[in-house]
Structure 1
Amino acid sequence: MAPQRFHEQFDHIQRSLPDVPLTMGPDDSAGFLYEKGVVLVRDGEEAGFVEDTVRTHFTETQGLVPDHVRRIGPQAGRTGVTRIRVGDPAEGEDTVPHALRAVREAEDRQGRRLVGRNHVVHIAPVNACPGDEPVPAPRTEPANPAPAEGGYDPGTAVGVLVVDTGLVHDHRSYPLLAHTTGDTQLTETDDHGVLRQYVGHGTFIAGLLAAVAPNTDITVRGTLNDAGAVLESEFGALLFEAVDRDGWPDIISLSAGTPSADHDGLIGLDAFMQELREQRTLLVAAAGNNGCDTPFWPAAYAALPEYADCVLSVGALRADGESGACFTNHGPWVRVHAPGERLTSALTGFVTPVPYVYQHSTYDTCRFGADYPCTCQYPRHTGVLSEGRESTGAKPDQVMFEGLAQWSGTSFATPVAAGLVAARMTAYRERDPRAAGAALLADATERAEVRGAHVPALRPPTWRPVPAVIPAVPA
């Protein structure tokens, strides 16, 4: 993990959630952010028990009963969770670790986790350490993966829901997205007409899906429009809202999540995941870009037996397709890897070129320790958030986007894998997306090397390897 990039991203996410005090931890290498002074619990008897336990613990260890230990609204709702304040963020020290320790013994007795941090869930290439930022691609450069053969038939099209940022306003000017529907991005540019960070993320994903699987009805919901960051306590309700608007689809493509110190999932997603299990929908989720083996949720649900058939976790292959990208998370909880470095898709429409200013700087060497020319290093640019930039007088680089872009992250390997499941459903007239996903994995004979392990790899027929080094982005 790269502490510099982590802190840059932490500051950015904190600005996007100005009313929520955030902290990180337990250290930089953990790679997760959470609400300071607040824990998340299931509503009902468990919430009352946690309140009483934390008060008792603080009384015995500190000689006082803190008045601030109380439930705070809004309460529960469909997700069945509530927040309990266990400390005053203004006092400096974060009391969440103390509260978690206070209930661990009770959890061991009950064999069930009662309390957890209220994590910040974020877009995978934005997960406190982005894969990279987009790079303009010439209009003459074809999409990669290129559009697969076959047409669109509304009578047989596979339904895919993309939960992400919304679509750019002129997305239909990109032919592959002519029949894509959903929410438009709330605000695309700032007061100076510069493209905001992460705008186009959902559009880029939809373009990849449509290229790999033309016979799809893609709906993009702008659940993560606000800089791609949302509290876990709200995320479950937002997912319910997304599926309730259009019904449960065949496939959900989700390029968001969070690492966690817990190994049995996220309390805030319990209700959604239990309902998902009862549906026929396949959740295809990004493994995250921390370059580590810490489980990234909800992708890591794929490793839990009760969710193995309904969740497909996806890591990213580097540009040559032979091994894992430097940033990809890895481990036995990642079911499959697909191309996710320097893919080419639509970032904006083709109506009006729009400028973008880089937020992060590239590195002299890979920040994850890889020994190939990765996206940490190329193309070279200086970003606004980089530490020490002002003292050197370096100006942030600005580029123009006019349609296509190259972008890297497990965010983009995810729709590639989702598209391959959808394409298999069309090719074999399979109506069960989970059966199609299982068959796709069973037939996956190709392998890639990821951190010393040889893992299943999915490479679309129309995907092509790209050079390891690309020209530097002009200032």
Structure 2
Amino acid sequence: MAPQRFHEQFAHIRRSLPDVPLAMGPDDSAEFLYEKGVVLVRDGEDARIAEDAVRAHFTAVPELDQDRVRRDGPAAGRSGVTRLRVGDPGEGRPDADRTVAHALRALRPHEERAGRRLVSRNHVVHIAVNACPGDEPVPAPLAAGTNPAPDTSPHDPDTAVDVLVVDTGLTRDHRSFAPLAHVTGDPQLEETDGDGVLRQYAGHGTFIAGVVAAVAPNTDVTVLNTLNDAGAVLESEFGEKLFEAVDRHGWPDLLSLSAGTANGRSDGLLGIDAFMRELRERRTLLVAAAGNNASATPFWPAAYATLPGYENSVLSVGALRGDGEFGACFTNHGPWVNVYAPGERLTSALTGFDTPVPYVYQHSTYDSCRYGFTYACTCCFPRHTGVLSEARENTGGKPDQVVFEGLATWSGTSFATPVAAGLVAAHMTAHKESDPRAARRQLLASHDAWAEVRGAHVPALLPPTWRPVPIRSAGTA
């Protein structure tokens, strides 16, 4: 049986959120994760309408229990949403929830009459995506340097562009890598397990900071560990965490976010609606990852980039494969993706600069690309055996272990995103542009590179110091 990364990560995230019963959706498919037995509603009149409508619907369906319908606590601060409990999460299949589906169905007529959204699943927002990055990190030699290579422009604290990275925090020895000298922020919590083995996702925020610093050295980068728990947080909490991040740091020039979720809709996430509306009124530019599901389904918050009123405040970023000419096999795509940047086999800082750190692979590679591509993509190369895949397949195979000594090669729209953020920041410095949204418009208007993604001719942003990686066919991997 082939590895099933989404299902493996579903089990992994369930362990990281032990008090939250989770399901897959929609309709038992592996498009997104959500909390069982709960829907989100805006507090106030919307919550009253939703509660009454769900009770009435459940009363008419004998196998559903309307007595379980209740508001589960107060609204979450500035995000203005509250959880409406609609069922017992201990009932039914472990990976689906029909009571939530019934609750959503009950509100459809009310939403049609109101002309706006009233209710939502409580999705899991996670590091972009397929519930994890496009692949797992591979050790890279220090002597080979990073890719993109560091720009040699000076850092000027008086003119440096302020970049806030909401992610997993910084590994403990990141300052041992010179390009990260001006990077500050939170530590990566529980970087290793009790045996000193690097945890999955550890170093994700450090890697992103290294990419920004390489592309745009005249930046002051701050990395917060908002997404420390397996890179996952419930939508009901995510809006509040974003508010906390900007309250603590201040609204930055650029907010780099390599996380999100699909939700099967085209109108955004209810849980971050208040944050996105406030973002729209600020000068901050949100640079957001398009996700790694190889899907055209909108991925939020990146897909806000094409919603009316948000066009200038969000830049959505897909990933190019190593040669920069085509989309990476895993990248999400579609008209809601503004631009594509190198995101396959980039090299940046991870951990192990001071003391080498071991890592045990969590996923096995596939025999061929899971998305049907024929080049030696990250699905199948380099070959390794992983813990989660072997546990699922129950083959008794031994997972592979590697050792990191500073740099890593890693893939995903997670890392194409800081490439794009860095290029916006570099444009601001080069053109003495203080408005990040104006820089976004100018950069997209002046780019001169294009790539092909799923048959579409799309704008590509290629850093001057980025080196294309030769593409091989799968048969020569």
TM-score by length of 1: 0.96
AA in 1 matched with 2:156: D
Q: 2:329 aligns with which of 307, 326, 329?
A: 326
Instruction: Give 1:467 shift.
Output: 2.9
1:188 aligns with 2:184: no
Q: How far is 1:77 from its partner? A: 1.3
The structure-2 alpha-carbon separation of the partners of 1:226 and 1:246, relative to structure 1 and needing over 3 Å to count, comes to same
- Render the CA deviation track for 1:113-152: whole Å, top value 9, x for unaligned: 1000100000014x42540000000111110000113110
Aligned-pair identity in percent equals 75
CA 326–71 in structure 1, closer or farther in 2 if over 3 Å, else same = same
Q: Is the 8 A contact 2:40 2:84 kept in 1?
A: yes
What is the SS of the residue equivalent to 2:329? coil
Instruction: Render the CA deviation track for 1:338-393: whole Å, top value 9, x for unaligned.
Output: 00000000011510000000000001100111111100011000000114677543
Q: 1:256 aligns with which of 253, 256, 259?
A: 259
When residues 132 and 28 of structure 1 are mapped into structure 2, their CA distance, relative to the original with a 3 A threshold, is farther
Question: Where does 1:302-451 land on structure 2 (aligned, <5 Å)?
Answer: 302-387=305-390, 391-451=394-454
1:221 counterpart (221, 224, 237): 224
Match of 1:100 in 2: 104
Q: Deviations over 1:21-58 (max 9, x none)?
A: 00001246552000011000100010011000000011
- The separation in 2 between residues aligned to 1:160 and 1:129, in whole angstroms, is 23
For 1:390 and 1:115, the matched residues in 2 are separated by: 38
- Asked if 2 retains the 8 angstrom alpha-carbon contact of 1:314 and 1:413, the reply is yes
Q: Please say if 1:109 is aligned against 2:113.
A: yes
Give the unaligned 5+ runs of structure 2: none
The answer to whether the 8 Å contact 1:31/1:128 transfers is: no
Other-structure match for 1:10: 10
* Alignment correspondent of 2:170: 167
Q: Distance in 2 between matches of 1:455 and 1:392?
A: 43
Taking a change above 3 Å as real, the CA distance of residues 428 and 69 of structure 1, as seen in their structure-2 partners, is: same
Q: How far has the Cα of 1:317 moved from its partner?
A: 0.1
Root-mean-square deviation (CA, aligned residues, Å) is: 1.6
**Of 388-397 and 135-144, the range deviating more from structure 2:** 388-397
In structure 2, C-alpha distance between the alignment counterparts of 1:351 and 1:58, rounded to whole Å: 59
Q: Which consecutive residues of structure 1, in runs of 5 or more, have no partner in the other structure?
A: 471-475
Q: Deviations over 1:190-219 (max 9, x none)?
A: 011100000000000000000000000000
The 3 A distance-change label for structure 1 pair 278 and 148 is: same
Deviation (angstroms), 1:62:
2.2
Say which of 286, 290, 309 aligns to 2:289: 286
Distance 1:164 1:250 in 2: 17
1:305 is paired with a residue whose SS is coil
Structure-1 separation of matches of 2:34 and 2:393:
30
Corresponding residue number in structure 2 for 1:233: 236
The answer for the alignment partner of 2:203 in structure 1 is: 200
Q: After TM superposition, list the pairs within 5 Å mapping 1:27-38 onto structure 2.
A: 27=27, 29-38=29-38
User: For 2:173 and 2:236, how far apart are their aligned partners in 1?
Assistant: 33
Q: Distance in 2 between matches of 1:330 and 1:461?
A: 24
- Residue 194 of structure 2 aligns with an amino acid whose one-letter code is D
How has the CA–CA distance of structure 1 residues 65 and 349 changed in structure 2, closer, same or farther, with 3 Å as cutoff? closer
**Counterpart-to-counterpart distance in 2, 1:157 and 1:188:** 29
423-432 or 258-267: bigger deviation: 258-267
1:179 aligns with 2:146: no
1:266 paired residue among 257, 265, 269? 269
> What is the aligned length?
469
How big is the shift at 1:90? Answer: 1.4
Secondary structure in structure 1 of the residue aligned to 2:388 = coil
Question: What residue is the counterpart of 1:62 in the other structure?
Answer: 62
Match of 1:212 in 2: 215
State the AA in 2 paired with 1:88.
D
Aligned residues of 1:302 and 1:308 also touching (Cα < 8 A)? yes
- 1:54-93 mapped onto 2 (5 Å cutoff): 54-62=54-62, 66-92=66-92, 93=97
CA distance in 2, matches of 1:230, 1:391: 29
Counterpart CA distance in 1 for 2:132 and 2:306 is: 24
Distance 1:146 1:63, change over 3 A: closer
Residues 324, 450 of structure 1: 8 Å contact kept: yes
What is the alpha-carbon distance in structure 2 between the residues aligned to residue 367 and residue 38 of structure 1?
A: 32
The alignment partner of 2:107 has SS state of: helix
* Contact persistence 2:65–2:87 (CA under 8 A): no
Are 2:472 and 1:457 equivalent residues in the alignment? Answer: no
Tell me by how many angstroms 1:4 deviates: 1.4
Cα deviations by residue, 1:163-203 (Å, 9 ceiling, x for unpaired): 00000111100001011111011111101110000000000
* Other-structure match for 1:473: none
**Structure 2 CA distance for partners of 1:245 and 1:391, relative to 1, 3 Å:** closer
